[in-house]
Amino acid sequence: MKAILLFLGGVGMQEILVIGLFVLIFFGAKKIPDFMKGLGKGVREFKDAVKDVKKEVEDSTKEANKIEEGR
């Protein structure tokens, strides 16, 4: 919950309700689930990409250490 509060900063409950109402009117009730599904899929792909990059960095660091130890 704290992460959400840090992300929102000084946005209060009234502002969130206004934004939610605007999204509901602008996109319509039928499009919101599709939008959220796409958003979730994008976040998942981003996390997977970050995990892959982190693994590549760790692997290359281990390989560099092995090469350095062999000298």
Query: Is the separation of the CB atoms in 50 and 41 below 8 Å?
Result: no
- Cβ contacts of 25 within 8 Å, gap of 6 or more: none
Residue 29 above 70 pLDDT? yes
Q: The pTM is what?
A: 0.54
Tokens of residue 40, six digits: 């979730």
Dump pLDDT digits (tens) for 35-64: 889 989 999 999 999 999 999 999 888 888
> What DSSP assignment string belongs to 19-64?
HHHHHHHHH-TTHHHHHHHHHHHHHHHHHHHHHHHHHHHHHHHHHH
Residue positions counted in the chain: 71
